[in-house]
Amino acid sequence: MSITVNILCHGQGGSAQAFAERIIASGTAAAIRAEDGNEAYEYYQPLDDPNAILLIDRWRDQESLDAHHASPMMAKIAELRDRYDLHMEVRRYADLD
C-alpha cells in the first residue's frame, strides 16, 4: 500500500518557489528521496497560481511515512515553511493493493 501526500504551499511574492528551490539546493529533497520507503518527492508549479508550489510525496507504507515525520529533517522543513510564511493545504491518498 502506497501513501501519497499532496501538499499545496501558498506564499506571497515568490516565497513558495523560493522555499522549494531552497529544499532542492540544500540537498534536503535528495536526502528525503534516499529515505527508506520514499517512492517520490517532487515539486511542481501550478500554471494558474504563481504563488503556489505543489509537493507530491509518496511513501511505501505508513511506517516509512511515520519514520520520515519523526526525523530531524521535518524540523528543518517546518522552520523553512515558517521563514517563507507558507500556508498549506494537505491531501492524503492511499493505494489499497
Q: Looking up cell 528551490, which residue turns up? A: 21
pLDDT, mean of residues 2-13? 97
Who's near 85: CB < 8 A, 6+ residues apart?
11, 12, 15
- Per-residue pLDDT of 21-67, as tens digits, reads 999 999 999 999 999 999 999 999 999 999 999 999 999 999 999 99
Q: For the whole model, what pTM was predicted?
A: 0.92
pLDDT, one tens digit per residue, over 75-95 is 999 999 999 999 999 999 998
Express as a percent the part of the chain with pLDDT over 70.
99
CA angle, 17 then 25 then 40, to 5°: 80
Tell whether the model's pLDDT for residue 97 goes beyond 80: no
